[in-house]
Amino acid sequence: MSARLRGRVIVVTGAGRGQGEAEVKRLAEEGAQVIACDLEPPSSPGSVHGAALDVANPADWADLADRIAQGFGRVDGLINNAAVTSRFRLPEVSLQEWNRVLAINLTGPLLGIQTLLPLMPEGASIVNVGSIAALNGHYTAAYTASKWGLRGLTQTAAMELGARGIRVNAVHPGYIDTPMTATAPAAFLEANLQVTPLGRAGEPEEVAELMVFLMSDESRFINGAEITIDGGQVAGGLATLMSNAARGAGK
């Protein structure tokens, strides 16, 4: 077994299922001690340590930081993965819903960075999980705004924390096959595949490989980067749709 993350202490939010769960598994395989956080504490096999955390609750973050300080003394990595989707159209999204989505998707990562920063040594790595919805307009107003906001937070954090030798980057997944995306209508998946050059959904394990790279020293000069993992959707999705349409028309 390789150990690209040997001895690192890494916090993952939204770790109970889907993409977060896959990340926890890969990080642990590479030798990390993983603090796996979710509303319901995930199970704790081997070097995985489940913890209860509501990312929108500052008191939960403070408790987590205390326990990590006692148990490990430091945090080498933070993956702000927890997020909720919200599919209300612009005219229908309530203020309550808007605030709920921003609290979890945007304020949550801010609280995580602020609370764990005192435990982070030089060389620590933070990844915020954005979305390709943060790179263009998207029909989910609150979700899209929260992910665009997270881009801004990422870039400011990259600037401010860089001087401490702490790196902050954003990962923008496209359509990944997770319990979250499974709640979307089937037509949403179909439409996504039509504008994804690779023609398939991504797997949570594929995102996890990118997280291993970004949590390791292999990426030690990468800071403030925005990395798409989307099967080419942002790069060439529209052209793919047109190309396939032309092919269907015999061109």
Partner 1 sequence: MSGRLQGKVALISGTARGQGAAARERFVAEGATVFGGDLNTSTGEAHLDVTDEASVAAWIQRAIDAHDRIDILYNNAGAVRFAAVDDQSLEDWRFTLAAELDSVFLTCKRAWPHLKASRGVILNVGSTAGLTGSMTNQRAAHSASKGGVIALTRQLAAEGAPHGIRVNSISPGMIATPGARENLLAPHHPMRAIADAIPLGRLGTEQDVTPAAVFLCSDEAAYITGANLVIDGGWSVVLPGAQQMKENE
User: Considering only residues 39, 71, 99, 220, which one is a binding residue for partner 1 as defined by CB under 8 A?
Assistant: 220
Nearest distance in Å: CB 9, partner 1: 21
Judged by CB, which is closer to partner 1: 165, or 179?
A: 165
What x/- string results for residues 170 through 189 when contact with partner 1 is judged by CB under 8 A? Answer: ----x---------------
- Does residue 125 bind partner 1 (CB under 8 A)? no
Judged by CB, which is closer to partner 1: 103, or 234?
A: 234
Hey, is 251 helix, strand or coil? coil
Burial of 137 (0-12, 13-18, 19+ CB in 10 A): exposed
Judged by CB, which is closer to partner 1: 41, or 123?
A: 123
139 is known as an active-site residue: no
- Does residue 31 bind partner 1 (CB under 8 A)? no
Using the rule CB under 8 A, give the single segment among 5-13, 61-69, 84-92, 215-223 that binds partner 1. Answer: 215-223
Contacts of 123 (CB under 8 A, 6+ apart): 76, 165, 166, 217, 220
Judged by CB, which is closer to partner 1: 66, or 218?
A: 218
Burial of 19 (0-12, 13-18, 19+ CB in 10 A): buried
Nearest distance in Å: CB 6, partner 1: 13
Catalytic site residue from 80, 126, 143, 147: 143
- Does residue 191 bind partner 1 (CB under 8 A)? no
**Residue pair 50/36 in contact by the 8 Å Cβ criterion:** yes
Rounded CA-CA distance 189/223 in Å is 32
- Does residue 165 bind partner 1 (CB under 8 A)? yes
Burial of 218 (0-12, 13-18, 19+ CB in 10 A): exposed
- Does residue 155 bind partner 1 (CB under 8 A)? yes
User: Considering only residues 229, 246, 248, 251, which one is a binding residue for partner 1 as defined by CB under 8 A?
Assistant: 229
Closest of 5, 83, 77 to residue 35, by C-alpha: 77
- Does residue 225 bind partner 1 (CB under 8 A)? yes
Hey, is 176 helix, strand or coil? strand
**Residue pair 125/167 in contact by the 8 Å Cβ criterion:** yes
Residues in region 1-30 near partner 1 by CB under 8 A: 2, 4
- Does residue 223 bind partner 1 (CB under 8 A)? yes
User: Considering only residues 73, 213, 245, 246, which one is a binding residue for partner 1 as defined by CB under 8 A?
Assistant: 213
Helix (H) or strand (E) holding 172: strand 167-173
Rounded CA-CA distance 167/225 in Å is 10
- Does residue 136 bind partner 1 (CB under 8 A)? no
Q: 3-state DSSP helix/strand/coil percent for the chain, to nearest 5?
A: 50, 15, 35
Binding footprint of partner 1 on the chain (CB under 8 A): 2, 4, 155, 158-163, 165, 167, 174, 197-199, 202-203, 206-207, 209-210, 212-213, 216, 218-237, 239-240, 243
